[in-house]
Structure 1
Amino acid sequence: MLRVGEQVRHALSEVLSRGDVHDEALSSTPISVTEVRMSPDLRHATVFVKPLLGGDEEAILTALKRNVRYLRGEVSRRVNMKYSASLKFRADESFDEGGHIDSLLRTAKVARDLEGREED
């Protein structure tokens, strides 16, 4: 599942970076495909994307859903699988969560707790 997910991720990244999709929302904003999770039967793929340079996530997700048939066809041409996996696009929230955790770790209370442990 992991190997196929990575192959699908690379195929989608290549299609989106080359600008093969003729959609204004997708061609105007660079998009990072951060992860692809495949179902155990390899028929369904959840694709996590993040628009770069502060792009509008909702507009990008809408454009990807509009062009899902084309993207599915391109993935099936580039990745040799028995079935063409259906694609479901989701916004990747892991960067936001990481930033939130980082900001929590930089608070004064955490710094004070860490300083107290070093004295022990």
Structure 2
Amino acid sequence: MPKEFSRTRRVGEQIQRELSALIRRDLQDPRAGWVTITGVRMSRDLVHARVFVSVLDENRDPMQAVAALNHAAGFLRRLLGRTLGLRVVPRLRFEHDASIERGARLSSLIDQAVNEDRNKRAPAAEAHDGTPGRLAGLEDPDNGGEDRS
């Protein structure tokens, strides 16, 4: 059994590499735009391939690119058959992979939170007079109410 799973993985990786080149070189549909193939999940019998794509141009609708790729799936499958040398070329089904967009969004939110935290800490650091637990410009109740700064 482990041999079968490694073969599905290897075939999926090979399809990913070949499809990336074919889409870039041979696909003339402008709706596909700049897409990246993020992964290929093969069925155990190697008859079906789910191809996950991400759209690099954020101004493009990812679903339109997926529709264009699914429309060209037969054409791409035929080209794959010429280059892969498999007995049976898998049927291709393209799906949008939003993980890259989600990752970029999370990264942006983390950067924003870090910057907000830095901005909140900066005024407090400026007001601190160096004595632990004391702020500059505040009266010291133990010193008769005199200002410590």
Q: What TM-score does the superposition give when structure 2 sets the normalisation length?
A: 0.63
- Aligned match of 1:114: none
Displacement of 1:101:
4.8
Amino acid at match of 2:70: K
CA distances 1:30-77 after superposition (whole Å, capped 9, x unpaired):
111110111111110000011112122011011111111101111111
Find the aligned partners of 1:91 and 1:60 in 2 and give their Cα distance.
Answer: 9
Matched-pair identity in %: 32
Find the aligned partners of 1:74 and 1:16 in 2 and give their Cα distance.
Answer: 10
Q: 1:2 aligns with which of 2, 9, 31?
A: 9
Find the aligned partners of 1:44 and 1:33 in 2 and give their Cα distance.
Answer: 16
Q: Which sections of structure 1, spanning at least 5 residues, go unmatched? A: 112-120
Q: What TM-score does the superposition give when structure 1 sets the normalisation length?
A: 0.77
Higher mean displacement: 48-57 or 33-42: 48-57
Bigger relative contact order (CA 8 A; separation at least 6): 1
Amino acid at match of 2:99: S
Q: 1:67 aligns with which of 72, 79, 96?
A: 72
**What is the aligned residue count?**
106
Q: 1:25 aligns with which of 25, 31, 37?
A: 31
SS of the residue corresponding to residue 25 of structure 1 reads: coil
CA distances 1:88-114 after superposition (whole Å, capped 9, x unpaired):
110012113334554369758xx9xxx
Amino acid at match of 2:93: K
Q: Which sections of structure 2, spanning at least 5 residues, go unmatched? A: 1-7, 118-149
Find the aligned partners of 2:34 and 2:110 in 1 and give their Cα distance.
Answer: 30
How is 1:1-120 mapped onto 2 (pairs within 5 angstroms)?
1-18=8-25, 20-26=26-32, 29-54=33-58, 55-99=60-104, 101-102=106-107, 103=109, 107=113
